[in-house]
Structure 1
Amino acid sequence: MLQSITPNNSFKVDIVSDVVCPWCYIGKKRFEKAIDSLSAEYGFEVNWHPFQLNPDMPREGRNQKEYFSEKFGSWDRFMGMLQHVKSAAEGEGLQFAIEKHVNSPNTLDAHRIVKLGQDLGLQDEIVNAFFKAYFEEALDLTQKENLLLVAERAGIDRAKAEALLATQEGLSEVLQAEEHYKKLGVTGVPFFIINDKYAFSGAQPTESILQILKQVAEKDNIQPLSGQQCDVDGNCY
């Protein structure tokens, strides 16, 4: 579990991510392993921020096979590329079932629920619930009932989530946050910002994350790192 911030020897980590980004889920697991090994020495305040890999996706989503075939040239090519991601996921104890999806979702409403989770002190729980639902259970996130189910699993009151989705609440905040990070130069996710000063991108190996956290703690020269990530051009699988 992610640790709470402490007055001294603490890290503030902002993670820019999308709930349908496979490297974001893999990166989350690797990041958690790194900070768990440092939890006796340091505290961590972790905040998740929105990024849409498919910003032009219709709000109702699209047929996944059609969408990925168009994006990657063919369904067979996508399936071949997917094997690399699934292998990396298995290394973190995750069993991806992405190919079972019928629909590819627009993620704006999911990000709105993540923001609600943050306001309720349940942000890590809701982020993890979305990752698990989408990648391991192939839950269709184009369906409102499934969004509410994920919210409930994370401990969010169903009525609060339902009221959110019935309005435009949180939409402008999500879009503004996304625009903010794009202006900072974020073009792919996951993207990690430490103490508002240092940054690295991609699903780095746990050992690399440990190294950079220790460098930040020791105020050493920070070497920029870039690992496997997803971007809006489809460079993901």
Structure 2
Amino acid sequence: MKARIGAALAVWLGVAGLAMADDQGQGSVVVELYTSQGCSSCPPADEILAGLADRGDVIALALHVDYWDYIGWKDVFGSPQFTERQRAYARAAGARTIYTPQMIVDGMEHLVGARPAELTALIKRYEAMPEQAVLDVARKGGTLAISARPVGHLPQGAVVQLVRYKPEETVEIRSGENAGREISYRNIVTEWHSLGTWDGSAPLSMDVSVSDSQPIVVILQEPGPGRIIAATALK
């Protein structure tokens, strides 16, 4: 998909001041960006995600897919696992095709392309939704303590997921559609693991071993994948 870079960034700059002023929300909205270094339409969306990365009310995650690698540049962060996660979202939504760039807000809203005004509105909408679960995460040496309690009934339960990411890295792209560009990426997902399921009928408590100080995100998400009901980040 080919985006109009100038128009996308102009709209983003127009709403960035409003968005950044509202970064003390009651909960964290998860924004997943499916992107690729081999996609010429992706840099505007990468910049939008970078603008979200330091907000306190958003957990911004860049998942690099591998299906653009065939055109001449292998994305150094690309993973078939992230491609499959994007495909799973498409299946859940009844869509036949996947695209880059694509942003998914709280597991529910799908935005193809760099659409900052719509993204800002969706973040505000999901911030305002009532809590479905209270999630607490604490790092104690090499152990991550995860606890949660439901707020009301959770009919589908949740998948407990652990995400690790690199805060930032700059890549010189030497071939493919973005040949000759040097691009800085933010919140680059390196691992995404399912830790198990929670039926939501009683409080959740689990301990997980963690081996380094790389930032951590814990996500409770309805199966499907469906709506993200709670998420917490430790930087």
Q: Shorter chain as normaliser: what TM range?
A: under 0.3
Q: Which has the higher contact order (CA 8 A, sep 6+)?
A: 1
Q: Normalising by structure 1, what TM-score?
A: 0.26
**Which has the larger strand fraction?**
2
**Which has the larger helix fraction?**
1
